[in-house]
Structure 1
Amino acid sequence: MAITLQQIADLAGVSRGTVDRALNNRGRIKPEVEQRIKKIAKDVGYKPSRAGRALAMAKKNIKIGVILQLAQTPFMKDVLIGLKAAKLEAESFGASVKIHKINGVNPTEVIQIMEKMKSEKFNGIALSPSQDNLLIKLIDKFSQEYNIPIITFNSDLENTARLCFIGQNAVKSGQTAAGLMGEITNGQGQIIIISGHEENPSLQQRADGFNREISISYPQINNLGIRYAYDDDWVAEKITDEILDKYPNLKGIYITGSGVLGVCKSLQKANKIKDIKIIANDFINDNIQLLSNGTINFLIGQDAYTQGYQSIMLLFYKLFDNKNPDSKFAYTDIVIKNRFNI
């Protein structure tokens, strides 16, 4: 039988209204009393009813907005699956969630959508940001002046007043890739990075972590730097064609984001699959197939579903229960796959 608020009130020696205020963080109660009530509720396994939560949510009229950049990329399509699952869950409690998709990187459009959400009285926003000074200032303004909490996911703008970041520790991911690259090339030869958009903070942090670890741990490797393919397979293919022509003895390529199909197509044309080691990111279908057939040596995963799902749900908890995330950084696991454990 479910525990009721009145039963908790009887155990705590307070009124039912006091229990309601304590469990819903509504104030007007002594801190020590609130703590005692919450401990009793936890000890007896109290769970608020779904109907009750939905009614309370309807009264609050909570609106959550999501802005998803690079929506056309395979990885972000997986993030969208998590977003849609969280949208269904939050809306089942009476909240409303609106997801805006942007193809490519367009901070101007992000800013326009944020301003529109403010005018439409959205209570919180989750977004995948890009490096842009105006966007940085606006995140701070929303968080501090408008009291509209912002959660970033997939990529982060760390030095802002955002509530928290959900995603991979990109620097450590890059360091992980460097360690793998150093081992499979025996710490020798020429390597290069192919990245997406220069404005994507996550991709830049991966490259920074990779470069730093290569220089420290594998000084005999000749790191040729970074090229940008803008998450476009055709551009990635043409860049790789040029690289192979200029550096015929290339030993490794680290792909920080999208463009994997283009790189691999170039290698196949040049008959270089067995000669050049490839480390890429994300467990999307095309990448898994290339890993399985030996074209890619390693894939590094970052849990797309969780990034999407948690970005909405943490806002939900904040707006409904006034519960802050446990940390400013909700890092997802860094998972390494090769063709034997995919």
Structure 2
Amino acid sequence: MPVTLQQIAEAAGVSRGTVDRALKDRGRVRPEVAEKIKNIAKEMGYQPSLAGRALVMAKRNLKIGIIMQSAQTPFMVQVYEGMKAAKQEVESLGGTVEIFRVDGVDAGRVMEIMQEMKAQEYSGIALSPSEDTMLKKMINQFSEEYGIPIITFNSDIEDTKRICFVGQNTIQSGRTAAGLMGEITGGKGEVAVISGHISNPALNNRIRGFQSEILESFPGIQLVGTKYSYDDEWVAAKIVEELLEQYPDLKGIYVTGTAVKGVCEALVKQEKEREIKVIGNDFLDENKKWVERGAINFLIGQDSYMQGYEPVMMLFHLLFDDEKPESVYRYAEIVIKNRYNL
């Protein structure tokens, strides 16, 4: 009789999901644990039955749908790479994965796609949501009434029936940015926040985390408000010009999302790129350039590939193996970089 993953898990004293990740080199397993699992699997004579899994998948007509908003942004382009890898893996086993890309934030379009998926009998959905009452209701309806499991990634709506969120702990990311800002400004002066779309839950959580930590730990910093660029570089540059006119002694800017280029170009134009402290997000080529130049003091990073890969594979294991996510939250590590460790 073939050796099962559950038998290996029992022998290794770990969960079945840990065994699966270790044997497929999918990360999230300590190297020493992964080596132990592989040795046990080899000793037990484990052989993955790919052909058998593909046959079962084909019979089940397993279809996974992915909806990503702000698909045109550089970070989501990186997330897309993880999605494509997971799509290839699932489809090699006989399943189907379709990726729907939505430029900008458009809850109406997301709901249209969800309805199309229901009509085409998709088995599960992963999506990057936005703050929208009707979208929240639809997520709950799909989960409870239609029995279609939903995983959110990159941004989250906690008060819904989604089964799991994959992405950054954005509240903690905002608090991290506040701690850095407090240190590099000496805990004093006027500081502004420039965000992207006002309906983006992830960016709003970063703002909340930043504001709460500033108020709690750095009373000498005056927050002068939050402005929204809607991911437009030109708008971001204009916001900086207006801020500098209104607050000539501005000490810092926290950029929660994209439009870093517009912010930095405006600071360079005003010859303020070294004077005003800037904290941004994500290790994108454009952002790294500005760190190297000295216009950005710190970047706070997250694992983009994981946010594309993990939701697809979590749905696959839930639908095919009846393996539920180990936690409601699958957080990406928060990483801090400056010009010395890029």
TM-score, reference length from structure 1: 0.88
CA distance in 1, matches of 2:320, 2:45: 20
Offset, 1:51: 1.4
Which residue of structure 2 lines up, in the alignment, with residue 234 of structure 1? 234
CA distance in 2, matches of 1:323, 1:44: 22
Which residue of structure 1 lines up, in the alignment, with residue 151 of structure 2? 151
Secondary structure of residue in 1 paired with 2:223: strand
CA distance in 2, matches of 1:235, 1:43: 61
Which residue of structure 2 lines up, in the alignment, with residue 104 of structure 1? 104
In the alignment, structure 1 residue 299 sits paired with structure 2 residue 283: no
Offset, 1:302: 1.1
Aligned-pair Cα RMSD in Å: 1.9
CA distance in 2, matches of 1:91, 1:274: 50
**Alpha-carbon spacing, 1:324–1:45, altered in 2? closer, same or farther (3 Å):** farther
Secondary structure of residue in 2 paired with 1:237: helix
Which residue of structure 2 lines up, in the alignment, with residue 16 of structure 1? none
CA displacement, residues 292-333 of structure 1 (integer Å, 9 cap, x when unaligned): 221110000111110000011101111110100000000000
Offset, 1:179: 0.2
In the alignment, structure 1 residue 219 sits paired with structure 2 residue 219: yes
Larger Rg: 1
Which residue of structure 2 lines up, in the alignment, with residue 209 of structure 1? 209
Secondary structure of residue in 1 paired with 2:202: helix
Secondary structure of residue in 1 paired with 2:193: strand
**Alpha-carbon spacing, 1:107–1:182, altered in 2? closer, same or farther (3 Å):** same
**Alpha-carbon spacing, 1:45–1:269, altered in 2? closer, same or farther (3 Å):** farther
CA distance in 2, matches of 1:280, 1:66: 27
Task: In structure 2, give the amino acid aligned to 1:62.
Answer: L
CA distance in 2, matches of 1:197, 1:279: 18
**Alpha-carbon spacing, 1:212–1:312, altered in 2? closer, same or farther (3 Å):** same
Matches within 5 A, 1:1-342: 4=2, 44=44, 46-342=46-342
Q: How many residues align?
A: 310
CA distance in 2, matches of 1:229, 1:259: 7
CA displacement, residues 163-207 of structure 1 (integer Å, 9 cap, x when unaligned): 100000000000000000000000000000000011000000000
CA distance in 2, matches of 1:47, 1:240: 59
Task: In structure 2, give the amino acid aligned to 1:148.
Answer: I
Which residue of structure 1 lines up, in the alignment, with residue 18 of structure 2? none
CA distance in 2, matches of 1:162, 1:273: 42
Secondary structure of residue in 1 paired with 2:224: strand
Offset, 1:4: 2.1
CA distance in 2, matches of 1:253, 1:260: 11
Task: In structure 1, give the amino acid aligned to 2:93.
Answer: F
TM-score, reference length from structure 2: 0.88
**Alpha-carbon spacing, 1:276–1:61, altered in 2? closer, same or farther (3 Å):** same
Task: In structure 1, give the amino acid aligned to 2:128.
Answer: S
Runs (4+) of structure 1 moved beyond 4 Å? 40-43
Query: % of aligned pairs identical?
Result: 55
Offset, 1:41: 8.4
CA displacement, residues 54-92 of structure 1 (integer Å, 9 cap, x when unaligned): 111111110000001000100000000111111111111
CA contact (8 A) 2:3 2:45 kept: no
**Alpha-carbon spacing, 1:81–1:218, altered in 2? closer, same or farther (3 Å):** same
CA distance in 1, matches of 2:270, 2:302: 31
CA distance in 1, matches of 2:198, 2:189: 26
CA distance in 2, matches of 1:211, 1:136: 26
Secondary structure of residue in 2 paired with 1:134: helix
CA distance in 1, matches of 2:234, 2:318: 42
CA contact (8 A) 2:73 2:258 kept: yes
Task: In structure 2, give the amino acid aligned to 1:100.
Answer: F
CA contact (8 A) 2:3 2:44 kept: no
Task: In structure 2, give the amino acid aligned to 1:284.
Answer: L
Secondary structure of residue in 2 paired with 1:190: strand
CA distance in 2, matches of 1:47, 1:159: 42
Task: In structure 2, give the amino acid aligned to 1:243.
Answer: L
CA displacement, residues 135-155 of structure 1 (integer Å, 9 cap, x when unaligned): 001101101110100000000
Secondary structure of residue in 2 paired with 1:318: helix
Secondary structure of residue in 2 paired with 1:214: helix
Offset, 1:107: 0.2
CA distance in 1, matches of 2:235, 2:44: 59
CA contact (8 A) 2:235 2:262 kept: yes
CA displacement, residues 114-145 of structure 1 (integer Å, 9 cap, x when unaligned): 00000000000000000000000110110111
